[in-house]
Amino acid sequence: MIKHSKAILFFNKQAGQVKTGHTLSMIQEHFANHHINLEIINVPKPQSEIQEIVADRISQGYDLFIAAGGDGTVSFVSDPLVNTDKTLGILPLGTGNVVAKTLGIPLHLEKALALITSTDHGLSTIDTMYLVGDRNYISNVSVGVTPTLMANTCQDNKKRLGFFAYLVEFYKQALGLQLHRYYLEYDHQSASYLATEVLITNGRSMGLPNLKWPDDIAFDDGKLNILILRAKNLMDLFKMIISLFSQKEKNKSGIKQITFNNYCRIESRKITPVQADGDVINKTPIEVKINPKSLLIIVNHKNS
């Protein structure tokens, strides 16, 4: 395994698990002990600025790019690395850390640091998704109840409650569940559905232990998955969650799964917000294309 010599770290001090000062000092000390020249860039910053920084550092010979934050930070940093041979390391300091959980990256900071600087870590080349007119994302894009949930969950609650901040807001949203009409076009096929949410996902993790999407979903299988979720009331939602916990049940209650290998376009009768990798970014309609095997990430050997 190549030992990295020059690294740049994008550090999100607003991330849910960051203890400003202590966290950064621990990171700096670790890389100094491993004789790796580490440059630190504080984020968030405009995506265009991150792209310029990454392009400049690639030209200077930097060979390791690290995202220290939540899924949004990982997503921003990974975008300019798509379809390059440069490596992304992840220090999961956010609220959900869905990407890290899916790839088996340690959630404990010291263990995540040790993985990045290990001389025998694994590498995984994963698929990414391109949102037409925007940029590349890693984990998921969705329309429906989730974007509203994310928009209404305040930063203070995320720092104080962690992932449970989302659950509190989700409970509020669940009391007013609504079905909306969505029109899908995927790989030259079309269909329409009444749904609570339409999710395009690249990985299985939902952010909670044992709560995962169906087991035929993977980051590196060359396809993306559309999940149409239909819950008219709290009872429907309860059945859906129970079926997701059940690893043996093939047909998940209230969930229809479709796969595509090229593109998917989603329109809605009522214009609705869109979230991608944990951030509300747009409104319908949207079109997503797959970038197979386009991003190189440091993982444990058993997950590579």
Q: How many helices (H) and strands (E) does the chain have?
A: 9, 18
The pLDDT score that the predictor gives to residue 169 is 47
The pLDDT score that the predictor gives to residue 233 is 61
Q: Is the pLDDT of residue 80 over 90?
A: yes
Question: What is the Cα–Cα distance from 33 to 28, expressed in whole angstroms?
Answer: 9
The pLDDT score that the predictor gives to residue 25 is 92
The pLDDT score that the predictor gives to residue 56 is 97
Q: Is the pLDDT of residue 158 over 70?
A: no
302 band by pLDDT with thresholds 50, 70 and 90 = low
Question: What is the Cα–Cα distance from 208 to 82, expressed in whole angstroms?
Answer: 27
The pLDDT score that the predictor gives to residue 52 is 97
On the question of a cis peptide bond just before residue 44, with omega within 30 degrees of 0, the verdict is: yes
Structure tokens at 144: 């429906």
Average pLDDT of span 162-176: 50
Q: Are 22 and 83 in contact (CB under 8 A)?
A: no
Q: Is the pLDDT of residue 279 over 70?
A: yes
Q: Is the pLDDT of residue 166 over 90?
A: no
For residues 288 and 300, the model is more confident at 288
Q: Is the pLDDT of residue 7 over 70?
A: yes
Which residues lie closer than 8 Å to 17 by C-beta, 6 or more apart?
23, 92, 93, 94, 95, 162
**Tens digits of residue pLDDT in 96-155:** 788 998 899 999 999 999 999 998 889 999 999 999 999 999 999 999 887 776 655 545
The pLDDT score that the predictor gives to residue 12 is 92
The pLDDT score that the predictor gives to residue 123 is 93
**Tens digits of residue pLDDT in 219-271:** 999 999 999 988 766 565 556 555 554 555 445 657 889 999 999 999 999 99
Q: Is the pLDDT of residue 209 over 80?
A: no
164 band by pLDDT with thresholds 50, 70 and 90 = very low
Q: Are 82 and 294 in contact (CB under 8 A)?
A: yes
For residues 158 and 23, the model is more confident at 23
Q: Are 61 and 8 in contact (CB under 8 A)?
A: no
If you average pLDDT over every residue of the chain, what do you get?
A: 84
E strand segments, 83-216 = 87-92, 122-131, 136-137, 140-144, 180-186, 189-195, 197-201, 205-208, 211-212
Question: What is the Cα–Cα distance from 75 to 81, expressed in whole angstroms?
Answer: 10
Which residues lie closer than 8 Å to 290 by C-beta, 6 or more apart?
127, 128, 129, 130, 222, 223, 224, 260, 261, 262, 263
Average pLDDT of span 165-171: 49
Q: Are 49 and 108 in contact (CB under 8 A)?
A: no
Domains and CATH numbers, the chain: 6-121 (3.40.50.10330), 137-292 (2.60.200.40)
**Tens digits of residue pLDDT in 23-69:** 899 999 999 999 999 999 999 999 999 999 999 999 999 989 999 99
